[in-house]
C-alpha cells in the first residue's frame, strides 16, 4: 500500500493501492510495469500479472481504472520514490484502515483472485 503525500491531488495523506496513468500509446499492462519500476524500483514480469478488474472510479469521469494483481519475487526490496510511505499489508490490515479512491470495494476481488490463483508465499 502507498501512503499518498500532502501534494496529492486526490486523497492526500491516505493509504491506497499503488497506481498511475497511462502515457500516450501505452497499454495498462505496460503502465503498471513502468510505474512499479519508477515508484518502487520493482521489476514486474508481465507474465506474472493478471488483469483483475476494470471499472469507472469515483473520483474522475470518463476514466477507467485497470486493476492488476502481480506476483513479485520476495527477494526484491521496494524503494519508495513516490508518496509519503509504502507498506506490505495483509487484507485484514487493509480492512482496518481508511483507504482512498473508494478502494475498499476492491477487496473482495483481491481476495477471490488470491484464493483462485494461489498467490501465496509471495507479495
Coil vs helix vs strand at 16: strand
Beta carbons of 44 and 32 less than 8 angstroms apart: yes
Alpha helices in 8-90 (DSSP H): 28-40
Instruction: Set out the domains of the chain in order of their start, with CATH numbers.
Output: 2-117 (3.90.79.10)
Note the pTM of the prediction, 2 decimals. 0.82
3-state secondary structure of 2: strand
Tens digits of residue pLDDT in 37-74: 999 999 999 999 999 999 887 777 788 889 999 999 98
Rounded CA separation 27/7 (Å): 27
Using one digit for the tens of pLDDT, what is the confidence trace for 10-31?
A: 899 999 999 888 999 999 999 9
* Nearest residue to 27 (alpha-carbon basis) of 43, 7, 51: 51
- Cα separation, 89 vs 87, in Å, equals 6
Indicate the pairing of strand 85-86 with strand 2-3.
antiparallel
Amino acid at each position: 500500500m502507498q501512503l499518498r503525500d500532502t501534494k496529492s491531488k486526490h486523497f492526500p495523506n491516505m493509504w491506497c493501492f499503488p497506481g498511475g496513468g497511462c502515457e500516450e500509446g501505452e497499454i495498462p499492462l505496460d503502465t503498471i510495469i513502468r510505474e512499479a519500476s519508477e515508484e518502487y524500483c520493482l521489476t514486474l514480469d508481465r507474465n506474472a500479472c493478471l488483469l483483475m478488474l476494470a471499472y469507472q472510479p469515483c473520483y474522475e469521469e470518463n476514466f477507467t481504472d485497470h486493476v492488476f494483481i502481480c506476483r513479485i519475487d520476495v527477494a526484491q526490496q521496494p524503494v519508495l520514490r513516490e508518496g509519503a510511505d509504502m507498506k506490505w499489508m495483509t487484507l485484514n490490515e487493509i480492512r482496518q484502515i481508511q483507504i482512498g479512491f473508494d478502494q475498499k470495494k476492491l477487496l473482495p476481488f483481491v481476495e477471490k483472485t488470491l484464493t483462485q490463483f494461489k498467490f501465496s508465499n509471495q507479495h
